[in-house]
Amino acid sequence: MQNSNGMIDDGASKQGRSSVFIVSARKRKLQKISQKSGEATLFLIASFVAIIVLFIFWFVARDAVPFFDSLHTFREFFTSSEWYPADDPPRFGALAIIYGSLMITVGSALIAVPMGILASICLSDILPFNVRQYVKPVIEMLAAIPSVAYGFFALVVFAPLLQNSGGPILMWAWWLIATPFLLLMVIVASELLTTSIAKGAMKKTAHLGLILILGALALLLLYFVGNHLQGLMIMSGTNALNVSIILSFMALPTIVSVSEDALQAVGRDLREGSYALGATRAETIIKTVLPAASSGILAAVILGIMRALGETMVVWMASGNSSHIPDPWFNYLESVRTLTATIAGDMGEADQVTGSARFHVLFAMGLILLIVSFVSNLISERIVVRQRKVLSGQ
Amino acid sequence: MNLGTRKLLDRSFTALGIGSIVIMGLALLVVLAPIVSKGVGALVFRETIEHRKLLSTEFHRGDGRELEKEIALSNGYRQKAFDMLAVFDQELEQMTPERQEQYRESYDQVKTALRGLLGPLPGDTDPELARNRYGQTRWDKAEEKLRELLYEQKWDYSNPDVIAKPYDVSRAPGFAGTSLVRLFPYVEQNLDKMLLPEWTFYWGFITDSSIDAHFFGGIWPEIQGTLFLAIGAMLFAFPLGVIAAVYFTEYARDGFLTSMLRSANSTLAGVPSIVFGLFGLAFFINTLHVSESKSVLAGSLTLAIMILPTIIRASEEAILSVPKTYKEASLGLGSTKWNTIMTVILPAALPGILTGGVISLGRAAGETAPIIFTAAVSVGTAIGLGDVLSSPTPALSWNIYNLASEHEAAAQIRHVQYGMVLALVTVVLLLNLSAVILRARISKKLKG
């Protein structure tokens, strides 16, 4: 405003202004100071968050460092799975616990990632707007239910169910999921295999024959795997499978909402270009939209996985809390123990104030969780920022 | 590929997407259905006369004269059962030691089951624990106990390939030829007259304290503790969060410092909840010594840190969604930036900010891990408002865990656990529902 009139020299413009706004120079100065100091106060309060983050790192690390006082404990922590904190001398081998955390994280990701991506595609591209309005609250409710309520469900409802009739449940799930998939695969595979044959009666018979042969193979697969699943003995319902399923539903809302944002950010022009070239909706989504949104979806997956890794109550209540590596290593029907559950469960017995080794080892576990979550957060943030730049650049 | 297959693939892709959304909806139903249906059972159930006795002695509630009449009525039927026991006791004395030995164990089991059903038998010393002073207070539990009286559970180990299965054996044939045989059909037929069940709505479940580690009574201390913790967390986090959001949206210039602050915010949002608990223990209690040990104050502070990023983000969004014209009009009229924020922008953004606040309140109420080391105790009475600075409190989320996983008789008090879960879920979902309604109103208003 003051420089809008370039003709008048500085002094004159100052004089002119003070005659327009009847405010003395001193008062203006005061106003400016108060404004600056107000802004500084706001900045201080806003930077409070950063201070807290620093403090969290500092205080968790401060209590974690005494545990790693020698190379021996460090090596034992990461390589041994002998977790006997109450023995004399105590043994703090956390390998099985770290593995347990990894196992349930991978397990829940296996369920939540495909489902979450499919659901977010459905929300952004398939469902009409008025249906979407009813789906969103469902997802929000899934996210809002407290973790201890999920844990209670896993322990009191789901675990006995899994223990008493886990075999048949798994068999039905296998049949329900695998039948349509295999049917589709048979049809598509038999068509792809016969494309090279020239047109005519020969192609038709080959096609039909292939469908029959592959169909029979698929049925056999369905039957044998289903039979095997039905015959499984589940010794305890509080196991890695139970926890993975429940955690996947807790991670789903995060994955769905973040990746839906990523899909929405892909413009209409890309979709319309693909449709104009004659692609179906599925082809458009898989070949055009998903690649364009891939980094955002990756960020969503990272955030969802972090939710599963950092979850405490469900795993504490329903994972069985046995510190050993399942045999074989992919056996999801055995009980496991995770970092979060160990921290929550052992703190009561660890000496809270004076700080024994048992107390510090729990902070070491907390530090691991903190670092993993920090790194994955940074990565996902970078990814989102870069995607925004790429999309706006186009 | 020919067109038919491509269309088929397209359809099945759509079906997959819709299928996964349907599964999510079903999962929500499957989780909520048992919680709601059995949780209601903590409030609405068939109470027996034992429950009315309990309410009268422990809470001085109910019509005393009516109750005395009922007690007299039920005692008439109980006396006959007790007489049968007395007759059998005499028979036992006249038996040879070997035969006595033969009956001893199962007779003790019968007596224990009868005690569980009706309360102390005549001649028993007054039990110390409240759970043993009364019989079954709920008719559904009484029916379970009746099964225990009538049948003995045995385990079938005959097939080594299958996990052993339980099966029931009737107790009556074991006492064939003695007078006790008559007891079993008598109790089975007259149990409703001994216990006089009636449908009731036990509102005391919400307002009463618990008796004998949640065997009887209500969950008021837990509800109150949850309210204290959640509201306390909001008191700290809400003003801080809103001010930080104002800074980020109105004052912060794009630059290194601002982007650092922003990524600090998202880092804080991603920290696992149990690590907040560790931090609260290490910082608020062991370093700052805000209280000697666990306290509501320490728990609230920890929860406040946890919900701060959510509040900041929601407030930022709310402020950004205020139309630019509002701000320009205010500045154009000559008001200062601060004035514009206080009188134009914040009032317009308030519903959105409140929405974020309400959702965060729900999150603070439902979260367990941060309060394990900082605020929660398993058993306790409701604390007064003056004690929040120094004393820990029971809280819904923590006590659900504690009752379900660590209580010595967790299987016997399932109804209390379900009731607690229902209370917590109701609070959280109601808060979220009000947020949804608020948001719908805002979008209507902004559309005009």
Q: Could you state, in order of their start, the residue ranges of all structural domains in chain A?
A: 10-46, 53-393
B260, B265, B367: residue with CB nearest A146: B367
**Using the beta-carbon criterion (under 8 Å), do A285 and B13 form an inter-chain contact?**
yes
Q: What does the pLDDT read at residue A236?
A: 86
Q: What does the pLDDT read at residue B358?
A: 92
In one letter, which amino acid is B49?
A: I
Q: What does the pLDDT read at residue B254?
A: 82
Backbone angles phi, psi at B216, to 5 degrees: -130, 170
Per CB-CB distance under 8 Å, the chain B contacts of A150 are 31
The CATH code of the domain at B220-447 is: 1.10.3720.10
Residue recorded with tokens 């021996």: A72
- Evaluate if residue A283 carries a pLDDT over 70: yes
**Using the beta-carbon criterion (under 8 Å), do A184 and B9 form an inter-chain contact?**
yes
- Given its phi and psi angles, is residue B395 left (phi above 0), alpha (psi -120 to 50 degrees) or beta? beta
The tokens for A238 are 């509080």
**Using the beta-carbon criterion (under 8 Å), do A362 and B278 form an inter-chain contact?**
yes
Q: What does the pLDDT read at residue B448?
A: 60
Q: Residue A15: which pLDDT band, with cuts at 50, 70 and 90?
A: very low
Q: How far is A380 from chain B (nearest CA, A)?
A: 10
The Cα–Cα gap between B445 and B336 comes to 26
Instruction: Taking residues A366-392, report their average pLDDT.
Output: 87
Q: What does the pLDDT read at residue A1?
A: 37
Helix (H, G, I), strand (E, B) or coil at A84: strand
**Using the beta-carbon criterion (under 8 Å), do B28 and A45 form an inter-chain contact?**
no
Instruction: Taking residues A8-20, report their average pLDDT.
Output: 44
**Using the beta-carbon criterion (under 8 Å), do A152 and B362 form an inter-chain contact?**
no
Q: What does the pLDDT read at residue B426?
A: 95
Q: Residue A14: which pLDDT band, with cuts at 50, 70 and 90?
A: very low
In order along its 448 residues, chain B shows pLDDT tens digits of 678 888 888 999 999 999 999 999 999 999 999 999 999 999 999 999 999 999 998 888 888 899 999 999 999 999 999 999 888 888 888 888 888 888 888 888 888 889 888 888 888 888 888 888 888 999 999 998 899 888 988 888 777 776 677 888 888 888 887 888 888 999 989 998 899 999 999 998 999 888 888 888 889 999 999 999 999 999 999 999 999 999 999 888 888 888 888 889 999 999 999 999 999 999 999 889 888 888 999 999 999 999 999 999 999 999 998 889 999 999 999 888 888 998 999 988 988 899 999 999 999 999 999 999 898 888 777 788 888 888 889 999 999 999 999 888 888 899 999 999 999 999 999 999 898 888 888 777 766 6
Q: Residue A232: which pLDDT band, with cuts at 50, 70 and 90?
A: confident
Is A211 in the B-facing interface, judged by CB distances under 8 Å?
no
The tokens for A120 are 């977010």
Per CB-CB distance under 8 Å, the chain B contacts of A30 are none
**Using the beta-carbon criterion (under 8 Å), do B369 and A60 form an inter-chain contact?**
no
- Evaluate if residue A264 carries a pLDDT over 70: yes
**Using the beta-carbon criterion (under 8 Å), do A146 and B368 form an inter-chain contact?**
yes
Is A217 in the B-facing interface, judged by CB distances under 8 Å?
no
The Cα–Cα gap between B326 and B445 comes to 14
Give residue A360's Cα distance to chain centre. 28
Residue in A156, A199, A284 to test binding to B, most B beta-carbons within 10 Å = A156
B9, B366, B401: residue with CB nearest A317: B401
pLDDT greater at residue A353 or residue A231: A231
Three-state DSSP string of chain B: CCHHHHHHHHHHHHHHHHHHHHHHHHHHHHHHHHHHHHHHCCCEEEECHHHHHHHHHHHCCCCHHHHHHHHHHHHHHHHHHHHHHHHHHHHHHHCCHHHHHHHHHHHHHHHHHHHHHHCCCCCCCCCCCHHHHCCCCEHHHHHHHHHHHHEEEEEECCCCCCCCEEEEEECHHHHCCCHHHHHHHHHHHHHHHHHCCEEEECCHHHHCCEECCCCEECCHHHHHHHHHHHHHHHHHHHHHHHHHHHHHHHHCCCCHHHHHHHHHHHHHHHCCHHHHHHHHHHHHHCCCCCCCCCCHHHHHHHHHHHHHHHHHHHHHHHHHCCCHHHHHHHHHCCCCHHHHHHHHHHHHHHHHHHHHHHHHHHHHHHCCHHHHCCCECCCCCCCCHHHCCCCCECCHHHHHHHHHHHCCCHHHHHHHHHHHHHHHHHHHHHHHHHHHHHHHHHHHHHHC
Q: What does the pLDDT read at residue B32?
A: 95
- Evaluate if residue A88 carries a pLDDT over 80: no
**Using the beta-carbon criterion (under 8 Å), do B282 and A45 form an inter-chain contact?**
no
Instruction: Taking residues A194-206, report their average pLDDT.
Output: 76
Residue A341: other Cβ atoms inside 10 A: 28
For A21-35, letters b (16+ CB in 10 Å) and e give eeeeeeeeeeeeeee
Residue among A316, A141, A144, A247 nearest B363 (CA):
A144
Helix, strand, coil % (nearest 5) of chain A?
Answer: 75, 0, 20
Q: pLDDT tens-digit profile of A95-128?
A: 999 999 999 999 999 999 999 999 999 999 999 9
**Using the beta-carbon criterion (under 8 Å), do A156 and B282 form an inter-chain contact?**
no
**Using the beta-carbon criterion (under 8 Å), do B272 and A55 form an inter-chain contact?**
no
Helix (H, G, I), strand (E, B) or coil at A88: coil
Per CB-CB distance under 8 Å, the chain B contacts of A50 are 260-261, 264
**Using the beta-carbon criterion (under 8 Å), do B429 and A122 form an inter-chain contact?**
no
A47, A344, A363: residue with CB nearest B261: A47
Backbone angles phi, psi at B198, to 5 degrees: -145, 145
Q: What does the pLDDT read at residue A50?
A: 92
Q: Residue A355: which pLDDT band, with cuts at 50, 70 and 90?
A: low
Tell me how many residue pairs between chain A and chain B have CB atoms under 8 A apart: 272
Residue in B23, B275, B331, B341 to test binding to A, most A beta-carbons within 10 Å = B275
Q: What does the pLDDT read at residue A7?
A: 40
Q: Residue A150: which pLDDT band, with cuts at 50, 70 and 90?
A: very high
Helix (H, G, I), strand (E, B) or coil at A178: helix
Q: What is the dihedral of CA A162, A166, A168, A170, to 10 degrees?
A: 100
Q: How far is B232 from chain A (nearest CA, A)?
A: 18
Q: What does the pLDDT read at residue A21?
A: 54
The Cα–Cα gap between A253 and B11 comes to 25
In one letter, which amino acid is A376?
A: S
Q: How far is B438 from chain A (nearest CA, A)?
A: 13
- Evaluate if residue A3 carries a pLDDT over 70: no
Single pTM value for the model: 0.91
Residue in B2, B3, B5, B13 to test binding to A, most A beta-carbons within 10 Å = B13
Query: Which residues 111-130 of A are in CB contact (within 8 Å) with B?
Result: 114-116, 118-119, 121-123, 126-127
The Cα–Cα gap between A182 and A166 comes to 23
Q: What does the pLDDT read at residue A9?
A: 42
- Evaluate if residue A155 carries a pLDDT over 70: yes
Is A301 in the B-facing interface, judged by CB distances under 8 Å?
no
What are residue A332's DSSP bridge partners? none
Whether the Cβ atoms of residue B241 and residue B315 lie closer than 8 Å to each other = yes
Q: What are B200-207's contacts with CB under 8 Å, separation 24+?
A: B200/B44, B200/B45, B200/B46, B200/B47, B200/B51, B201/B43, B201/B44, B202/B42, B202/B43, B202/B44, B202/B45, B202/B47, B202/B51, B203/B43, B204/B55, B204/B59, B204/B61, B205/B42, B205/B43, B205/B419, B206/B43, B206/B423
- Evaluate if residue A354 carries a pLDDT over 70: no
The CATH code of the domain at A53-393 is: 1.10.3720.10
pLDDT greater at residue A309 or residue B159: A309
**Using the beta-carbon criterion (under 8 Å), do B273 and A188 form an inter-chain contact?**
no
Q: What does the pLDDT read at residue A306?
A: 92
Q: What does the pLDDT read at residue B131?
A: 86
Per CB-CB distance under 8 Å, the chain A contacts of B18 are 122, 126-127
Cis peptide before B272 (omega within 30 of 0): no
Cis peptide before B309 (omega within 30 of 0): no
B31, B336, B436: residue with CB nearest A150: B31
Residues with Cβ within 8 Å of A212's Cβ and at least 6 positions away in sequence, in order, are none
Q: Residue A351: which pLDDT band, with cuts at 50, 70 and 90?
A: low
Return the percentage of chain A with pLDDT > 70, whole number: 91
**Alpha carbon separation from A40 to A191, A268, A380, B236 (Å, rounded):** 69, 43, 31, 20
Return the percentage of chain A with pLDDT > 90, whole number: 46
**Using the beta-carbon criterion (under 8 Å), do A347 and B281 form an inter-chain contact?**
yes
Mean pLDDT of chain A: 86
Q: How far is A392 from chain B (nearest CA, A)?
A: 18
Q: What does the pLDDT read at residue A174?
A: 92
Burial class (CB in 10 A: 0-12, 13-18, 19+), B170: exposed
Burial class (CB in 10 A: 0-12, 13-18, 19+), B25: middle
A118, A144, A156: residue with CB nearest B429: A144
Helix (H, G, I), strand (E, B) or coil at A205: helix
- Evaluate if residue A250 carries a pLDDT over 80: yes
pLDDT greater at residue B376 or residue A20: B376
- Evaluate if residue A85 carries a pLDDT over 90: no
Q: How far is A232 from chain B (nearest CA, A)?
A: 10
Q: What does the pLDDT read at residue A5?
A: 40
Q: How many CA atoms lie within 13 A of A300 on its CB side?
A: 28
